[in-house]
C-alpha cells in the first residue's frame, strides 16, 4: 500500500494522479506484447517488392491501425497466417504505427510455426489482410488500452470476432 503525505491537499491530489498514471503505464508495458490492435489492409499490387518470406509490400490501411508486431492473416484463404509485421515505412521513414487511410510499406516475417507463404500463389491483390486477433488480445485491449482505441476500432473488433469465430 502506497502512502501519500504532504501538507497541501492539491499536492496530495497531484501525487495520487501521477501514481495512478505510473501504475497504468506499468500495466500497459507488461501487457503490450499481448495487445493486437485491429487492422484491415488492402494490398497495393504495384508495390509488392518481395513475394516470399519476408513479404515486403505496399498496403492501404482500410480500417483500424497497424503496429509493429501485429500478426497478419488472410481470412479469405482459410486464415493463412503470414507472420508478424516487423517493419512499417512511409516515404523511407520507419514508423511504429500507421492509421486508417495511410499507404505504407510493410515487411511481414513469418514466425517458426508458419510455412513459407508466397504472394501470387497462396494469396493475391484481391485478398484483404487482417490482424489475427484472439479473445486474450481483445481482453487486454479492453483492460489496458481502451484510451488508444477509437469507436471505429471497436467496430472492426466486432467484425473480426465474427470472421474468426471469437465468442
By the 10 Å C-beta count (0-12 exposed, 13-18 middle, 19+ buried), 167 is classed as: exposed
> What torsion, rounded to 10 degrees, do the Cα atoms 154, 155, 161, 162 define?
170
Output the pLDDT for position 67. Answer: 92
Whether the predicted pLDDT of 93 surpasses 60: yes
Whether the predicted pLDDT of 115 surpasses 80: no
Other C-beta atoms lying within 10 Å of the C-beta of residue 37: 21
- Residue pair 75/130 in contact (Cβ under 8 Å)? The answer is yes
- Residue pair 35/145 in contact (Cβ under 8 Å)? The answer is yes
Whether the predicted pLDDT of 39 surpasses 90: yes
Instruction: Name which residue leads in pLDDT, 78 or 97.
Output: 97
For 53, the grid coordinates are 518470406
Q: CB-side exposure of 54: number of CA atoms within 13 Å?
A: 14
Output the pLDDT for position 56. Answer: 92
**Torsions phi, psi of 105, nearest 5?**
-105, 130
**pLDDT tier, 5 (very low <50, low <70, confident <90, very high otherwise):** confident
How far, in Å, CA of 39 to CA of 99, rounded?
Answer: 9
pTM: 0.80
Whether the predicted pLDDT of 114 surpasses 60: no
Average pLDDT over residues 122-135: 90
Amino acid at each position: 500500500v502506497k502512502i501519500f503525505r504532504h501538507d497541501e491537499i492539491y499536492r496530495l491530489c497531484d501525487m495520487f494522479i501521477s501514481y495512478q498514471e505510473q501504475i497504468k503505464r506499468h500495466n500497459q508495458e507488461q501487457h503490450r506484447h499481448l495487445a493486437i490492435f485491429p487492422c484491415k489492409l488492402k494490398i497495393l499490387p504495384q508495390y509488392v517488392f518481395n513475394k516470399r518470406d519476408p513479404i515486403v509490400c505496399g498496403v492501404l490501411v482500410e480500417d483500424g491501425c497497424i503496429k509493429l508486431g501485429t500478426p497478419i492473416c488472410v481470412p479469405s484463404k482459410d486464415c493463412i497466417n503470414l507472420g508478424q509485421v516487423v517493419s512499417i515505412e512511409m516515404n523511407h521513414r520507419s514508423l511504429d504505427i500507421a492509421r486508417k487511410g495511410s499507404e505504407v510499406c510493410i515487411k511481414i516475417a513469418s514466425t517458426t510455426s508458419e510455412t513459407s507463404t508466397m504472394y501470387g500463389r497462396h494469396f493475391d491483390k484481391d485478398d484483404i489482410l487482417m490482424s489475427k486477433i484472439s479473445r486474450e488480445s481483445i481482453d487486454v485491449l479492453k483492460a489496458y488500452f481502451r484510451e488508444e482505441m477509437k469507436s471505429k476500432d471497436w467496430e472492426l473488433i466486432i467484425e473480426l470476432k465474427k470472421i474468426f469465430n471469437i465468442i
